[in-house]
Amino acid sequence: MVVRLSLIIELKNVCMVHAVIPLNCLLCGQAAFVNRISGPPDHVQRLEELGLRGGVRIEMFRPGSPCIIRMAGNKVCIRSDGLLEVLVQPAETLSPR
Amino acid sequence: MNHAPTARAAMTVALIGNPNTGKSSLFGALVGVRQRVGNYPGVTVERRSGQMEFAGRKIEVIDLPGLYSLAPRSRDEMVAVDVLLGRQDGVRPVDLIVCVLDAANLGRNLYLVSQVLELGLPTVVALNMMDLAESRGVQIDCDRLAERLGVPVVATQAVRHVGIAELKAAMHRAADQKARKYPSPLPAVFRQEIDRLAAWFLKPSNGSPGRVVARPLLERLVLDASGYLERGIFAAEGPALAEELAALRRRLEQSGCAVPGVETKSRYAWTEQVLSGAVHEPDDYLPTWTDRLDRVLTHRVWGTVIFAALMIGLFQAVFSGAVPFMDLIEAGCAWLGAQIEAHMAGGALRSLLASGLVGGVGGVLVFLPQILILFFFIGILEDCGYMARAAYLMDRFMSRVGLSGKSFIPMLAAFACAIPGIMAARVIENDRDRLTTILVAPLMTCSARLPVFALLIAAFIPDEPVLGVFDLRGLTLFGLYGLGILTAVVVALLLKRTLLRGETPPFVIELPSYKWPSARTVLHRVLERGWLFVRCAGTIILAVSIVVWAALYYPHDAASVDRQPHLSHLKAALDRMDPAGEDYAALAAELERERLGEFQRQSWLGRAGRAVEPVFKPLGWDWRIACAVIASFPAREIVVATLGVVFDLGENADAKSEAGAKQFRDKLRQATWNGSGRRLFTVPTALSIMVFFALCAQCAATLAVIRRETNSLRWPAFTFAYMTTLAYLGALVAYQAGTWIAARIG
């Protein structure tokens, strides 16, 4: 019971604004800042070369797998396998859809 | 002369930039029509170069593939690095680099500039698509940017030819100046390690003298975790270098500069420094009309519906739009063949020219209109920016097969012809995905299979309605297309789980802003692809056509043919007739046809067909079908002509005209097993032949292209083996199951 309760609290925390969540948890139109990208160094570097790196502001355009995000006015389509994870911090306000 | 060259009369300029920066348009604006497209020797990366002249100086411009980084991971990046370092065969050392940047996205574009500047070559920066940047609210102070970068910066709009003259002048001036020494943005610890590595190379070892290695090369060597440079340029150093590098990278990691992360971190820090105060970007980007279009075009339902409609339209255009042109080419070839027959004395040479050359090469040229139309549409979809969206939509399906959305374009092209499909697979960065795509592309029902299907379906599949709306013939054709796709899916899945198993890199593609396609770019691409097809397929088909012709022509022993009892009977009957009589001409023609058929039967190919008859008997084929199928291994479309020949229609059997086609179908229907009244062609037999053709690798040109694109004999051999085996098994099942069902139904 206690475990379940703490799990619910934790889940609530994860979904709270400002918490760091995986990219694919972003809703359509939600803006966020990239927190960090973890995975094989080579793949991480590939994404960074494309402009997806810590501190960059993004906006979810089309959620799902693959998803489409807006980044500095450009759009990028991404499907990451289980190895690579992009963690983002949602911005406070939702931008208009 | 006023414009006397100051330093060098000729120079080489490399154009480099991220994809979708309008680099190709800028290249076109610089060199005009004087461009050449080829391959870099030994690799399947397109080499695009052109000539321009400025102030009396001849300038060769090389358009390097679009890339995000000089870290040599994909084939394109490897070639770009090699060209810039002056170690690519067939390319002169580069004197000047022009970096093409998307003005609306400088943050990312400057990353590549940072890498390029370190090479120490004179560099000019072209800020392209300035109009788009301004419309998005991006403000750029070009002078300040030039000052920060230490290289000339020119604002351009390549599509409208704005700023091209200024760019040329800047290139001309920069080429004569010595490049400014550019401080590396990488941290001091890293630079010290590079000093240490330089010293390591200077030390003589194993009896070989030490050598000086350029700093940029050493940096790339340390940063490149994939080992491309280590294996390529520094192979001679052997394991000693590998040990040295491993120790160096360990030391870097301990001091918090782990490779390769240190590169992106340092370069982006530099980028931010350069941009601050020189470029003002808006805090929030307003939705553009590209966004509005994308809301529909990438929508799960509407996007898919529009995509399907586009594909149906494309196929419709490819298959029906091409018909008049194909008829024209066929008529032209027939006329040429007839001219040769009429104006040359009979014999081996005439037969070689008429059947071997004109027939064989014409058989391939006939597909050219379809390929041109296909590439016209693909060109438009690519140039306007839609193809990236199609890749996004298809990725959902393709990823289930173990591939990515990038494999979609090659597969689409393969429906017209496997050759352009296999060549289009070059866009796939991941080698295993690319190879899988190449290996399954020939299973897509290409247009060369259509004549075979059309003939057999019309002859043997009854024209009956199914469920009121469909008809059995259409469904059969649909089923054959489906069989190809289904087999490709299964083979791709198997390959990705067995032979080509491995880590899949993340699928990332940029979705460029939509724009009106440029007629020049599209037409250029169409012509380029068309010529590539004619040259590549034409030469191979020409060679195999000659071989097949020879196998069907020789030994051409007239004495042995005329000894055949049915021929001597005919001859005797003819001799008894009045040469002026009505029936004489008809009988003479029949004798000629029978003689020709007998020549074919006694030819090497005919003998081979008889020898292998037992192998094909379980498929319901007699020696004549086997012979036609063997003859069509070099190019499957040959089978229609060969069937005509072996079933005694004579060389001029015209399967195209309505009467000819009917005569052809009747002849096939009447054919019986040797020496019996049993019908040779039944529905199961026709199905077994069609299944065989749907799955078999009967195309020498495709195999040759696979050999070229994979740079090995192993993969074309593998493709041939797996497809032929599948075809045999598929045909066996089709015939045996068909016969069994037919017997039950009665």
**Domain coordinates in residue numbering, chain B:** 10-176, 188-256
**Partners of residue A48 in chain B, C-beta under 8 Å:** 264, 268
Residue in A23, A47, A48 to test binding to B, most B beta-carbons within 10 Å? A48
pLDDT interval class at B658 (50, 70, 90): low
* pLDDT tens string B418-429: 887 888 888 787
User: What confidence category does residue A2 fall into, taking pLDDT thresholds of 50, 70 and 90?
Assistant: low
CB B175 within 8 A of CB B8: yes
pLDDT of residue B301: 94
Q: Which of A58, A48, A86 minimizes the C-alpha distance to B73?
A: A48
Say whether A77 and B107 touch across the interface (CB within 8 A): no
Topology of the domain covering A2-90? SH3 type barrels. (2.30.30)
pLDDT score of B538: 67
Structure tokens given for B332: 């032209």
Q: Taking all residues of chain B, what is their mean pLDDT, rounded to a whole number? A: 84
**B261 contacts chain A (CB < 8 A):** yes
Say how far apart CA A64 and CA B430 lie, in whole Å: 23
The whole-number pLDDT of residue B453 equals 84
When CB atoms are compared, the residue of A47, A68, A72 closest to B105 is A72
- Is the minimum CB–CB distance between A28 and chain B shorter than 8 Å? no
Q: Given its phi and psi angles, is residue B22 left (phi above 0), alpha (psi -120 to 50 degrees) or beta?
A: left
Q: Do B644 and B655 form a contact (C-beta atoms < 8 A)?
A: yes
Cβ contact B66:B128 at 8 Å: no
B17 phi and psi, to 5 degrees? 175, 165
Terminal-to-terminal C-alpha distance of chain A: 40
Nearest to B346 by CA among B586, B638, B599: B599
**What tens digit of pLDDT does each residue of B662-721 get?**
777 777 777 777 656 678 888 899 999 999 999 998 888 889 889 988 888 999 999 999
Which tens digit of pLDDT belongs to each residue from B8-28? 678 999 999 998 888 988 998
> Tokens standing for B316?
């419709």
Average pLDDT over every residue of B238-257: 89
Calculate mean pLDDT across residues B265-291.
Answer: 88
The answer to whether B453 and B693 have CB atoms below 8 angstroms apart is: yes
Residue range B167-200, pLDDT digits in tens: 999 999 998 888 777 888 999 999 999 999 999 8
**Do the chains contact at B511 and A76, CB–CB below 8 Å?**
yes
Q: Is the reported ipTM for this assembly greater than 0.85? A: no
Contact status of B68 with chain A (Cβ, < 8 Å)? yes
| Cβ contact B445:B484 at 8 Å | yes
Task: State yes or no: cis peptide before B684, omega within 30 of 0.
Answer: no
- Helix, strand or coil, per DSSP, at residue B663: helix
Q: A with B: how many residue pairs have Cβ under 8 Å apart?
A: 117
Q: Is B136 on the interface with A (CB under 8 A)?
A: yes
- List of residues 6+ apart from B399 with CB closer than 8 A: A65, A66, A79, B405, B507
Average pLDDT rounded to a whole number, residues B516-538: 79
Nearest CB partner across the interface for B392, out of A46, A68, A72 = A68
CA dihedral defined by B466, B468, B473, B477, rounded to 10 degrees? -80
Q: Please name the amino acid found at residue B518.
A: S
Cβ-defined contact of B508 to A40 (cutoff 8 Å): no
CB of B19 within 8 Å of any CB in chain A?
no
Confidence at B206, pLDDT banded by 50, 70, 90: low
Strands annotated E in B326-485 = 465-466, 470-471
Q: Residue B178 corresponds to which tokens in the numbers above?
A: 């010595």
Using the 8-state DSSP alphabet, how is residue B370 labeled? H
Q: Would you list the DSSP string of A11-72?
A: HHHHHSTTS-EEGGGPPTT-EEEEEEEES-HHHHHHHHHTT--TT-EEEEEE-SSSEEEEET
Q: Do A48 and B264 lie within an 8 Å CB cutoff?
A: yes
Query: A81 — contact with chain B (CB < 8 Å)?
Result: yes
Window 362-391 of B: residues touching A by CB (8 A cutoff) are: 388, 391
A50 touches chain B (CB under 8 A): yes
The per-residue pLDDT for A86 is 92
Q: What percent of chain A has pLDDT over 90?
A: 37
DSSP state, residue B474: H
| Residue with token string 């990332």 | B508
Is there a contact between B108 and A51 if contact means CB atoms under 8 Å apart?
Answer: yes
Terminal-residue alpha carbon distance, chain B: 94
Q: Among 1.20.1090.10, 3.40.630.10, 2.40.37.10, 3.40.50.300, what is the CATH number of B10-176?
A: 3.40.50.300
Digit-coded pLDDT (tens) for B615-624: 999 999 888 8
Band the pLDDT of B40: cuts 50, 70, 90.
low
Q: List C-alpha distances in Å: A42 to A37, B124, B189, B459, B674.
A: 12, 30, 21, 58, 66
What percentage of chain B has pLDDT greater than the value 90?
28
Give one DSSP letter per residue of B505-546, joined into a string.
PPEEEEEPPP-PPPHHHHHHHHHHHHHHHHHHHHHHHHHHHH
pLDDT tens-place string over residues B329-365: 888 888 888 888 888 877 778 877 877 677 767 766 7
| CA separation for the pair B247, B244 (Å, rounded) | 5
B59 or B362: which carries more pLDDT confidence?
Answer: B59
